Amino acid sequence: MKRSAYLLCALVSGLGVSPALADNCSNLPTSAQLHQLLKTAATTQTPIGGLFEGARMWVAVVNRDGELCSVATSTDDPSGVWPGSQAIAKAKAYTANAFSLDDFALSTARLYTFTQPGHSLWSLGQSNLFNPVFLAAPSASNAGRGQIGGGLIFFGGGVPIYKEGKIIGGLGVSGDTSCADHEIAKRVRDLAGLNPPLGKLADDITYSSKDGASVFTHPLCVNTYRNGVQIGSEPAAAGY
């Protein structure tokens, strides 16, 4: 074995990662890169909307096999982001990868209506539940790296990622409203140069109030913006 190959095997073995996984994740952003991409995304084409303007996020990336490759938060202290969003980000990444193809990018935002009662994919979420074994304390968020955590999420924040026209995995963001999550996810993908062949807006979120009703419609969130333009806000509660 060549010395460079031997050193690589020793390194990934010390990290508890197989050489095969290291190769499967080698063309995807690292946790350190994701951390910086999140911070930059929150200041790109603002406002972002939501509760925190996209500044308190978890992000996760899976490869094409659905294996977790990297996880990060936008804050330097991970405890400053909702702990519950760790699982959601991982599941969004898995979902976006699981239902997209080279020539068909499908964000989790576009799955919302399909999976509601009375629609054709109702109960799809029961087909592949997230495995909580792959959760960890915020300070050890890479737990589950190299494993397939599963989980299906059908609201904004998950996007497939591409390289040279081929899908290579999925990216999931969580930590704000689902609409703001989607805004950050597509910005991170664009900043990383991992857009689908038809461009960064190929699987953008759509709203009935702006685009007309369709099977791809997503409901408005609190303080909803899309690509820096205000769309509206979630209707106030009534009747209960």
Q: What pLDDT is stored for residue 19 in this prediction? A: 46
The average confidence (pLDDT) of the chain is: 90
pLDDT at 186 over 70: yes
pLDDT at 12 over 80: no
Mean of pLDDT values over 215-219 = 96
Give domain 18-232's CATH number out of 3.40.1500.10, 3.30.450.150, 3.30.2320.50, 1.10.1740.10. Answer: 3.30.450.150
| Per-residue pLDDT reduced to its tens digit, 62-108 | 999 999 999 999 999 999 999 999 999 999 999 999 999 999 999 99
Q: What pLDDT is stored for residue 21 in this prediction? A: 52
pTM of the model: 0.89
| Per-residue pLDDT reduced to its tens digit, 135-168 | 877 766 666 888 999 999 999 999 999 999 999 9
Q: What pLDDT is stored for residue 1 in this prediction? A: 39
Q: Is residue 93 within 8 Å of residue 63, measured between CB atoms?
A: no
Domain spans in the chain, listed from the N-terminal domain onward: 18-232
Residue 47 burial (CB < 10 Å; 0-12/13-18/19+)?
middle
SS3 of the chain: CCHHHHHHHHHHHHCCCCHHHHHHCCCCCCHHHHHHHHHHHCCCCCCCECCCCCCCCEEEEEECCCCEEEEEECCCCHHHCCCCHHHHHHHHHHHHHHCCECCECCCHHHHCHHHCCCCCCCCHHHHCCCCHHHCCCHHHCCCCCCCCCCCCCCCCCEEEEEECCEEEEEEEEECCCHHHHHHHHHHHHHHCCCCCCCCCCCCCCECHHHHCCCCCECCCCCCEEECCEEEECCCCCCCC
Q: What pLDDT is stored for residue 137 in this prediction? A: 78
pLDDT at 55 over 80: yes
| Per-residue pLDDT reduced to its tens digit, 168-179 | 999 999 999 999
Q: What pLDDT is stored for residue 11 in this prediction? A: 32
Q: Is residue 216 within 8 Å of residue 121, measured between CB atoms?
A: no
Residue predicted with more confidence, 12 or 171: 171
What is the percent of the chain where pLDDT is above 90? 79
